[in-house]
Structure 1
Amino acid sequence: MSAGHGHGSHGRSRRKHEEHEEPENHERWAVSYADMMTVLVGLFIVLFAMSQIDTIKFEQLRKSLAIGFGQQAPSMMAGGAGVLSGLDTYEISPDFTASVVDAQIQDPPTPDTHLSDEQKNYDLAVTEYDRLAAIADAVAAALAAKDLQDAVTFRISERGLIIGMVADEAFFAPSSAVMTPTALAVVDGAGSVLAGISDPISVEGNANTLPPGSNYATNWELAADRAVKVTRRLVEADGIPGSRIEAVSFGDQRPLADDGGDPLGANRRVDLVVLTTVSDDIRAYLPEIAAERG
């Protein structure tokens, strides 16, 4: 009798489990790229948050640090509705065991912006003086180009900038209002600068005490004619608007040289005055500033 059938395992073919190789993933770089971009976005968010300064919290932190260096009572910061919602206040009070005496946080001194009216007027006068001095420098430079820098004098008074032309034979003949070539060159040199400003200009004729001769009844007429001749030259040849220039005669009533020098030659003159338009309170300081500047 034959033996019984076994389990039959030997008669049954074993099933082979074949493991198939997974296809290579060519898009792994995208995962790394996405991770890198996520980190960069987080970095930029942090940088942006750091750049936004909360001035209120910064001030509270400053005061808290000051407490640690021995200044006044601790500052209390009100709690919010966040993680510390159960706290009403949060105290920042560092416990510094080291004794700090010299290192204290001090607020910078507040500059005194409340100047007196006198100081304000003086400061404005300094500004006006510098402006008038700049005009004088420009006129001097224009005359220096013609080698005539010594033909005029400059002086700043409470009236403004006074450009003095001594009316001797180099400018006018005695008892005459006809300008010489030198006078024309000086007037045109000064006029080239004065035409570029907006200040009113006074052309002031003066004469000495000698009789004016047969051409004029008095020195008033002689001084007036000289002033008018210079004024017409400035308007007609140099382009200064007639609306902001005037001709004035002082005759022989405002002499410059009472003693010493040549009073006759010094007072045969024409002055070009750039009239300042600042207030009386400001212009009152101009002579003082002129004396300080020398």
Structure 2
Amino acid sequence: MYQYKRRNRQRDDQHLDRWLISYADYMTLMFALFVVLYAMALAREGSLEQLTRRLGDLFHAQHTVVAEPNPSDGIMQQASDDMLYGHGLKPEGGPDLVDGRSELVNFNKRHQGSALSNLEQEFNEALLELINSGFADIQRDEDWLVLTLSSSLLFASGSAAPSANLRAIIPSVAKVLASSDNYIRVRGYTDSSPINNEIFSSNWELSSARAAEVLEQMILQGVRPDLLAVEAFGANFPLSPNDTAQGRAENRRVDIAVSKWGKPEGTDEPLSDGQATDDNESSEPLPDYDEVQVIELPSGGIRITTRRESSEQGEPQP
């Protein structure tokens, strides 16, 4: 009997609820873990908001603040240009340009082509969507009808390769001009940002190449080649200041300028200003000299040529 009671007492003394201690420790550790994870999530969210705010301030500052140039950047750029091209690069230069876009050179001013008002109306109908979206503009005065097309619509940046937009727009332009005999100038313009890549060394070349590409596309669409001419103005005659991105975008353009003067039917070559068509005057070219002639100019210089001037028609050939 004693042994039975002792055995039962020992069994009663065992702590069967000891597992609660381990369970409580486990729950405490899990609670601590989730607290740490929650704290890390809050910290990450705060860092993300701060990063987003800083990036927003940075992009906003790019539109409002012009950073001062770093002198070392110019040195590195110059060194890079020297390594690639040597010292053969020359800066853009030349005499000051005079705005002669309104002047007619080598045009016959005796025959007027299609009415500019009619052409303007046809352009407005054919290019209505482009005009409303701001990619095209039409201006007309007494002598010229000028259709302005944004270069960003026609070409990629720094390129004169025709885009799909160019090939889609020019047929509508050519359809208006194909039936007219007005003289047409295709004028290329750029912004003031310098360009110097493996294809174009200056904005002059870029503006000329873009205008020539538009001219070629117009010829392919049926515009008479004898009415066309290319003019390149580079960064000159901007429409807006070049100190903003919007202004530079407006200055990168191609103008298709249509003159009120046209080419008379049956005329092989346009007549220059004031050139007379006297029937008594011979239209055949004068024969060239057999030998090279050295001609002294009034300014003190000389000209070496074999071509006989028209003023020498009556002089005997030496």
TM range (shorter): 0.3 to 0.5
The TM-score with structure 2 as length reference comes to: 0.43
The TM-score with structure 1 as length reference comes to: 0.46
